[in-house]
Amino acid sequence: MKIIPLGTSSGKPTLHRNVSALAIVGDGEWWLFDCGEATQTQIARAGLSPQKLAGIFISHLHGDHFNGLPGLLSTMSLDQREKELTLISPVGVDEYLTLLARLKICYVNYPLRLREFDGRYFAGREQELVYESAKFTITTRPLDHRIFALGYRLEEKTKPGRFNLERAKELGIPSGPLYSQLQSGKSITLDDGRVIHPSEVLGPPRPGKAVSYCLDTRPCANAVKLSENADWLIHEATFTEELIEESHHFGHSTAIQAAEIAREANARRLLITHFSSRFPNVRPLLEEARSVFPETYAAEDLMEVEV
């Protein structure tokens, strides 16, 4: 898995940063979190195939996080996409896309599985599973912004334990397809009638990787819950601490507050992003965050981060 920030600027693009969008690339599929204007251009620059895009997950309906959505959806229609696409968002996107379709601005001719959420939905729920494939799940929880906002956690499913080749040879298992069957969790029967179970040649199950995405938000309990023991927490760090009152007023977090969330969640690493344009150099934000959580890194457009 790898993380590719496609836009790291808050509010408006700059000469060196596009507005919010981020790709997480898995095995044979990838997922897009937020879709600010010109995201499809950044997707092309990153070398990502829209045909392999499995889902788009919008955090909230401020323009710098979803203005690029209609163009990307329409481009995939032009490119003859046939595969179903998952689209998760706060309430409002369905109405928006319906209006654009009526005005002949947005055209989608492939299956689009759209789910919308608002605060009432989560009145009796803590989180919701919004995506599942053979190897990955994505869950969502509401965050604390000026308008309703969602955070996400992408998690790789538990993987089988490592294959013990020496033990397999001791048991007389011929190499080839039988190894693959055992690695996939299936018992096999040898020519001599012995039944070999996966537990005899596999180590203990291995937990999958986890990445959380928390933009835009004030510090909140759900950001911690989404990020518990995550390999990477991707969290906004719009302002430095001297602007904490402004940050709170506009529903954002400072770099130190992002670091405090990472520390409380016991995340392994923190990737800060969503930088205010008043910080052309993000060094002050990075230094503040590292004073609390040393394993902090600053996102840059089109960088690649291994998970």
Active-site annotation, residues: 64
> Left, alpha or beta for 272 (phi > 0: left; psi -120 to 50: alpha)?
beta
The CA–CA distances, whole Å, from 130 to 29, 37, 138, 164, 224 equal 16, 24, 6, 35, 19
E strand or H helix at 236: strand 232-236
Instruction: Supply angle C-alpha 183, 189, 191, rounded to 5.
Output: 125
Q: Sign of dihedral through CA atoms 108, 105, 75, 93?
A: negative
Residue spans of alpha helices (H) in the chain: 39-45, 63-66, 69-78, 93-102, 165-170, 177-183, 221-226, 244-249, 255-265, 283-292
| Residue 24 · residue 31 · CB < 8 Å | yes
Structure tokens at 207: 């937990």
Structure tokens, 174 = 């011929």
